[in-house]
Structure 1
Amino acid sequence: MLAQSEDLSGAEKVFAFFRNALLDGTLKTGERLLSERELALKLGVSRPLLREALRSLSMLGFLDIQHGRGAFVRHADISVLSDFFTFSLAQQPDILDDVMQARIAIECQAIRLACDRATETDLKGIGSKLTRLMDTLHDPAEGGAADFAFHQAIVDASHSEALSTLYRAIGDLLRRSHIQRREVTVSEPGIIDYLVDAHREVFLSIVDRAPDAADRKLREHFAIGDAFRRRSLISAFSRRPPT
């Protein structure tokens, strides 16, 4: 059995090797790793420890271990990262409000980039998501999911791998947030007209390639949407129970 100090320092050494090799381009997607024996010697770790580290990297989606052929570098599945963020953040109190702040930061930068980088295909995609959103206004679950898809399409139109990866990493929490907000505000007077107008204006600002206007419209959308939610909560808890 490995000593704990060897396990910790050795595992960190293995992870650091792969991280640095990917960053500097020494390892690329699809490449086969050295044999277990050669890699253990190169890193100065025991083969059992290396085997466990490789298994962990495989579970995270960074390696494809093929018995009899070896281990190959693979493009990680973002769903693994999403699961990690969901499990980690879900343990924090009031996490959806905190995630909302992260969402604002990501989307406001993404929409500026989208105004410059969005292709015609991107614009058609965002437009179709807007149509879906308008068709599901009275259904909190379907409407919330459509709302999330609209905003995700904007982030994807930024063509920023970093922003898209971060957004998808918290995607499960964002989707839940959209649905919960719809459940709270669906009966609020004026909410339907607001949702249509706000999302249409955000979309048109991207079509117009106007980053300042797009940023402003998006921030207004976040602020007014939050005001609707707070007003709905106040109204719900202010009602007298039936006698």
Structure 2
Amino acid sequence: MTIDAVPRDMLSTYLEDALLTGKISPGSRLPSERLLAQRFGLSRPSVREVIKELQERGLVRVIPGRGTFVREPSSVDSIRPLEAYYRRRNATPREVTDARIMLETHAAVLAARNATEDDLTALRKMLSAFEKAGNVVEKARADIAFHILIARAARNSVLEVMFLSIAGLTFEYMLRSLADPTIVREGAPYHDDILAAIADRDTERARRAMEGHLSVAHYHYGEDLDQGLDTLARRELTRLMGPGVSLDGIIESVLTALDGPGDDLLRLEPNSRQR
């Protein structure tokens, strides 16, 4: 153990606690490397290592020439650790469908109780974007946004984060589903049923519509139902957009738009998407 080891751990623990509990508020600038080194009896390279670890975890951002600032928490931050674990476990469409039925049927029930007019407006925009989409990837972007918005309209932060943790896997699942005309023909009309039930505050109808929607793939996936989603997603992305497309980048752009001002939702519509 080096001389710096214990004080370095103290600094890491101190900063992590301050950031996660809000003692240092988002947007605030951290003390300089020099001041932190003096306060904790560390070398500046050791302080730099701690800052780098916090940056890699998405807790701070470093702006050259200006300093280190506390990042606002975002939906993107919540999905990475668990999603990586799911991928290591080689999650299949069957497993994702079962998990989605458990989570999203209850999200639909809660959304029917708690959705605001702003929530309903955002959901209608996403269905419009879905209908206008010119290809499978555009449809999947609008589709995942629609389901994330329902999870948010539920007004249950734990349920929302649980769904966000499988958002990447769900998007991959959607790529496979939306490439199948039979699944689109049978599954897409449920979107309108779900939204209508939520708008009517009909919790049981919302639950049934969501369960019916999520169950369609079970009847049509065949052997794909038990294949790893990564394999299916890479196959569909390569077929649709060529090699080298970043799935993570697509998901992050959706979540970033949903985390931004209401007008950012327009970035998910086909005529105004980012290129």
Alpha-carbon deviations, 1:82-136, whole Å to 9, x = none?
4555544333323454444443344234323322332222212212322343455
- Closer, same or farther in 2 for the Cα pair 1:15/1:220, shift >3 Å? farther
User: Which of 170, 177, 193 is residue 173 of structure 2 equivalent to?
Assistant: 177
Given that residues 97 and 214 in structure 2 are in contact (C-alpha distance below 8 angstroms), is that contact kept between their aligned partners in structure 1?
Answer: no
Give ranges in structure 1 of 5+ residues lacking alignment.
Answer: 234-243
Distance in 2, matches of 1:25 and 1:128, equals 34
* Residue equivalent to 1:16: 13
Count of residue pairs the alignment pairs up: 226
Is it true that 1:153 corresponds to 2:149 in the alignment?
Answer: yes
Equivalent runs, 1:97-136 vs 2, <5 Å: 97-135=94-132
Do 2:55 and 2:62's aligned partners in 1 also have CA atoms closer than 8 Å?
A: yes
Q: Distance in 2 between matches of 1:13 and 1:113?
A: 42
Q: Aligned equivalents of 1:24 and 1:232: distance in 2?
A: 43
Cα offset, 1:175, TM superposition: 1.2
Contact 1:40/1:46 (<8 A) preserved:
yes
CA drift at 1:12: 5.3
User: C-alpha distance in 1, partners of 2:92/2:38?
Assistant: 44
Name the CA distance, whole Å, in 1 between partners of 2:70 and 2:146: 33
Alignment of 1:193-204 (within 5 A): 193-204=185-196
TM-score (norm 2): 0.64
Q: 2:69 aligns to what? A: 72
What is the identity, as a one-letter code, of the residue corresponding to 2:56? M
- Counting aligned pairs with the same residue, the percent is 27
Structure of higher RCO (CA pairs closer than 8 Å, 6+ residues apart): 2
Is residue 145–residue 179 contact of structure 1 (8 Å, CA) maintained in 2?
Answer: no
**Gaps spanning 5+ residues in structure 2: where?**
226-275
Using a 3 Å threshold, how does the CA distance of structure 1 residues 107 and 22 change in structure 2: closer, same or farther? farther
Q: Is residue 2:89 matched to residue 1:92? A: yes
Read off the aligned partner of 1:21 and give its amino acid letter.
A
For the pair shown, the structure with the greater C-alpha radius of gyration is 1
Name the amino acid aligned to 1:177.
Y
In structure 2, what is the equivalent of residue 52 of structure 1?
Answer: 49
Query: Match for 1:227: what amino acid?
Result: Y
Taking a change above 3 Å as real, the CA distance of residues 97 and 51 of structure 1, as seen in their structure-2 partners, is farther
Cα 1:18–1:179 change in 2 (3 A) is same
Matched, 1:210 2:202: yes
TM-score, with length taken from structure 1: 0.71
The residue aligned with 2:268 is none
CA 1:14–1:101: 2 relative to 1, 3 Å: farther
- The one-letter code matched in structure 1 to 2:151 is V
For the residues of structure 1 that align with 2:162 and 2:24, how far apart are their CA atoms? Answer: 23
Residue 29 of structure 1 deviates from its aligned partner by 0.8
Change (3 A) 1:31 1:212: same
